[in-house]
């Protein structure tokens, strides 16, 4: 079975049943994270905790080893807000790709509205991200996304995205 067909089958399997993914089944989680084209150091989703037809919950463990902490800021490491938004966008892509059921296109961020940063995210924090579909009409998507640390809102945004007919090599 080709990689594309396997990924499409995996996405359908996940979207057909609400699932909780954890480290107890790392192969299933790894296959699902492979829906994203991102790789280290730009893969900003460490775990998919929950996924159903209209919502996903993901985690990002923020460690001092992150490459961006070297310069942002020396002596006062703070996760850049644009990377928090990128982590939310990657979570949104996981949700969208599970809904469409196949990797027929890339999921590209096209807009941000109502972006608010509410607290600092620092090494040792666990960023819990929740994304919900607000509207979907092929090829356009609107989603509401929130990132929390210990239940406290760290960032929120309305994300706009588009399915683009381009395949990755």
Active-site residues, by number, are 72
Q: Reply yes or no on whether the pLDDT at 98 is more than 90.
A: no
3-state SS of the chain is: CCHHHHHHHHHHHHHHCCECCCCCCHHHHHHHHCCCCCCCCCCCCCEEEEECCCEEEEEEECCCCCHHHHCCCCCCCCCCHHHHHHHHHHHHHHHHHHHHCCCCCEEEEEEEEEEEECCCCCCCCEEEEEEEEEEEECCEEEEEEEEEECCEEEEEEEEEEEEECCCCC
Domains of the chain listed by start with CATH number: 3-164 (3.10.129.10)
Which tens digit of pLDDT belongs to each residue from 38-96?
Answer: 788 889 998 889 988 899 999 999 999 999 999 999 999 999 999 999 999 999 998 99
pLDDT at 18: 44
Average pLDDT over residues 121-133: 98
């Amino acid at each position: 079975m080709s990689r594309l067909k396997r990924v499409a089958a995996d996405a359908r399997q996940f979207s057909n049943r609400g699932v909780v993914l954890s480290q107890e089944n790392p192969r299933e989680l790894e296959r699902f994270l492979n829906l994203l084209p991102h790789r280290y150091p730009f893969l900003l989703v460490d775990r998919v905790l929950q996924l159903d037809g209209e919502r996903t919950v993901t985690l990002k463990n923020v460690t001092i080893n992150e490459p961006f902490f070297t310069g942002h800021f020396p002596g006062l490491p703070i996760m850049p807000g644009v990377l928090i938004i990128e982590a939310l966008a990657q979570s949104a892509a996981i949700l969208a790709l599970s809904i469409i059921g196949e990797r027929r296109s890339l999921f590209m961020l096209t807009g941000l509205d109502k972006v608010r940063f509410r607290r600092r995210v620092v090494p040792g924090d666990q960023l819990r991200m929740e994304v919900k579909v607000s509207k979907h009409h092929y090829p356009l998507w609107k989603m509401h996304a929130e990132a929390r640390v210990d239940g406290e809102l760290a960032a929120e945004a309305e994300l706009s995205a588009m399915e683009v007919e381009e395949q990755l090599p």
